[in-house]
Structure 1
Amino acid sequence: MAFTKTLNWLHRLENAVLTVLVLVLVALAGAQIFMRNAFGGGLSWADPFLRTLVVWTAMLGALAAVREDKHIAVDVLQRFLPPGAQRAARVLTLLFAAGICAALACYGWGLVSVDLDGGARSDFGLPNWLLESILPIGFGLMAVRFVLRAFAAPTHVPGLSAPELLHDAGRAHAGDEGQAR
């Protein structure tokens, strides 16, 4: 029970950070556009900061998508397999995705360690290694989540996005509409 509470708290924190990042991104980008149009120039540090925010937002968004089992997946062939083979294909593809994310986390750590040793700073004063740290952290956490997802029950049927479309419910509902005419 305490683990579930902690996990829910972490998920809410992750969502809150993602929300704040998106709001800052939109507000700062809007301010930059306004300042360029109204005053002929903007904040010198804003464009590099916006690029960094885009990377952080993308990584946290991808992490949330994996958490919710709403990540991009190629499942065309999986739909035509029998249920047991579908399960095996899901496990294999998610473990493959975990391996790719783990490799990207290692490469991300290599990038961070180069800047950690070099001491380079961004245009807005923060160390580059700190700004890049989302890469190994994000990909590492995605790798863990893909492994956990591989052995958890899927939250959707491949190719279907709405719960009411699952199995016979969709056909029964469509049949009801046909009778109403």
Structure 2
Amino acid sequence: MTPAFQRNLARLHRFEDWVLTLLVLVMVVLAGAQIVLRNFFDSGFPWAEPVLRALVLWSAMLGAVIATRDDQHIGLDFIARFAGGTALRVARFVALAFAAALCGAMAWYSWALVQLDREGHTEGVIGIPAWMLELILPVGFGLMALRFLIRSVLPAKAHETLPETGA
């Protein structure tokens, strides 16, 4: 990788991290404000609940994209305890390629959902159409599929090939 590519990739990673941080911060502040308004003032924002649901969806998908980027996604490593060498490399490729295929299928079908809501002019919240709120699904799953696919053909990192030791 060229230094310019690495710098841009680092910028993209920082951007993802900051967006996720901002989403979580907004969720905490909005949910906290709702709690205070309901308990002490018998009021609240009528739009807060659907906005919070959308923020949860976006933060969950962005968190999954970041987890895939950082190799922190859920995985089963029991094969690494029983296999080594070529068998482990093949198993790793199959598992990551399968994860990429599943994420690709989810991107495809979630894109169909976005299109359906776009064509049906489905109402979202606070003037944002539902399809825009759902757009994180195909984008997130597409990014995860791409990252899994790339990792399936790259050499394994040290922690992917060595089983953990200890009690």
Q: TM-score, normalised by structure 2?
A: 0.91
- Partners in 2 of 1:9 and 1:155 — Cα distance? 25
Task: Report what 1:156 is aligned to.
Answer: 159
Instruction: Give the C-alpha shift of residue 87 in structure 1.
Output: 1.6
Post-superposition CA distance 1:134-170 (Å, at most 9, x none): 000000010000011112222524664xxxx6xxxx7
Q: Measured at CA, do residues 155 and 33 of structure 1 come closer, stay the same or move farther in structure 2, by a change above 3 Å?
A: farther
- Classify the secondary structure of the residue corresponding to 2:78: coil
Letter in 2 for 1:12: R
Per-residue CA deviations over 1:36-83 (Å, capped at 9, x if unaligned) read: 111123110000000000000000000000001110002223321123
What secondary structure, in the 3-state scheme, does the structure 1 residue paired with 2:73 have? Answer: coil
Cα distance in 2 between the residues matched to 1:102 and 1:110: 13
Alignment length, in residue pairs? Answer: 163
TM-score normalised by structure 1 residue count: 0.84
RMSD over aligned CA atoms reads 1.7
Q: 1:123, CA displacement in angstroms?
A: 2.9
Distance 1:71 1:39, change over 3 A: same
Task: Give the equivalent residue in structure 2 for 1:100.
Answer: 102
Matches within 5 A, 1:27-176: 27-152=29-154, 153-154=156-157, 156-157=159-160, 160=164
The percent identity for this pair of structures is 51
Q: Deviations over 1:10-51 (max 9, x none)?
A: 111111101100110111111111111111231100000000
Secondary structure of 1:15's aligned partner? helix
Gapped regions of structure 1 (runs ≥ 5): 171-181
Which structure would you say has the larger Rg?
A: 1
Match of 1:26 in 2: 28
